[in-house]
Amino acid sequence: MITLTVKRSRIGPVLGRHPWVFSQALAKIPDGIPPGEPVRLVSEAGEFLASGYFNSYSQIAVRIWGYEKDEAVDTSFFRRRIECAWRIRKEYIESPSTNAYRMVNGENDLLPGLIVDKYADYLVAQFHTRGIESWKNEIVNALETVVRPEGIYERSDMPARKQENLGSSRGILSGAVPERIIIRENGCQFFVDVKHGQKTGFFLDQRDKREACMKYAKEKNVLNCFSYTGGFTVYALAGGARHVTSVDTSESALELAQENVVLNGFDPGRCEFLCGDVKRFLRNSKERSDVIILDPPAFIKDHRKKKEGIVGYRGINEMAIRLLPEEGVLITCSCSAHLTIEDFRYLLSEAGGKAGRSLRFLEAYTHGIDHPQLVPFTEGSYLKCFIVCANSKTS
């Protein structure tokens, strides 16, 4: 195992257990280290600090995955990490009513660059970095041993792989995986297209927010914007919504949303599905909705687009607020990592001011239990959800 020395002036984050070590924090990086090569990190005094894998000669040189001095890296290494991650989910999430969740959340489960989502008896894996990609066979073997799934499917087709000089990779890694999987989530059921859907097929990180929306939906008219395959739509109906309108640009996603409504035994007559641009819909709509849900894709892909993204978020929130009746409820989300929760709160207050409405927080959410976050790893924070109540223009 290669030993790399961390400069005394840059040792703080490693001691604080931040999972990334930047190239400038290392005293020297030998030539020719392949991505994925296990490394030991030591202080200038030679004291062991952590272990990880060498990722690249660019900004993030090492990604940390352990703190045991002489831990061998093999299939059993990955098995131990996966067992630890799965225990948390099995204890706090898995139940007769829920069988889908994120099982491995990258750095936060000491497996940097690896995402594994569990959909019923199947797994979907994403390999985000060149380093973790080099251990794919060992990871698949460990997943088979620990979870014993019916099949494992790879969805390593995310844009982040381009930054690692990796191409897109998708397909069966183990067993067999059907075109659609039926999952249970808090008693609701959903068809999930893990092979062609967004991300790994379903937005598992919104489970607790979907459940929260139920209490606001009873006997209400609900507008679900950026509805995808109808996650919030189904929960709103389960909460007793009078009518739910779902808007999305994807015709195939809306078709699956309609199927999910029927799958849960709800009357499709209580729903309307509109294929089109959400911003244009909000701008032109004259109908008020008691509850409006905004769950858009990330408007800020990188820090250079932050100002432009803030304008976009502020715009859709202002338009939604204008469509709310007195004491109407807005459930608004952002999955942009480059937008802090403070920035999101500020732009929302600006949107309320422009719409002439005072907003009050009812609830606020970030990550769910199956998306745990290492305390020092602020770069891993991305999801924010505010549930607010809009006062009338005169109050």
Q: In this predicted model, what pLDDT tens digit does every residue of 133-190 receive, in sequence order?
A: 999 999 999 999 999 999 999 999 998 888 888 999 999 999 999 999 999 999 999 9
Q: Which helix (H) or strand (E) holds 314?
A: helix 306-322
Same fold, 2-66 and 75-179: no
Residue whose entry in the numeric block shows the structure tokens 């973790």:
132
Q: Identify whether the C-beta of residue 262 lies closer than 8 Å to the C-beta of residue 191.
A: no
- 335 tagged catalytic: yes
Q: Which CATH superfamily is domain 75-179 in?
A: RNA methyltransferase domain (HRMD) like (3.30.750.80)
Token pair in block for residue 151:
């099949």
Specify the pLDDT at position 312. Answer: 97
In this structure, which CATH number among 3.40.50.150, 1.10.10.10, 3.40.50.2000, 3.40.190.10 belongs to the domain 203-390? 3.40.50.150
Specify the pLDDT at position 69. Answer: 93
Which residue from 36, 70, 67 is spatially nearest to 53, judged by alpha carbons? 36
DSSP class of residue 26 equals B
Specify the pLDDT at position 1. Answer: 87
CATH number of 2-66: 2.30.130.10
Inter-helix orientation angle 341-354/306-322, to 10°:
50
Q: For the chain, which residues make up each domain, given as ranges?
A: 2-66, 75-179, 203-390
Specify the pLDDT at position 391. Answer: 86
Q: Which helix (H) or strand (E) holds 248?
A: strand 243-248
Specify the pLDDT at position 19. Answer: 98
pTM of the model: 0.95
Residue in 213, 271, 335, 385 annotated catalytic = 335
Which residue from 168, 290, 275, 169 is spatially nearest to 226, judged by alpha carbons? 275
The low-confidence residues of the chain, meaning pLDDT below 50, are 395
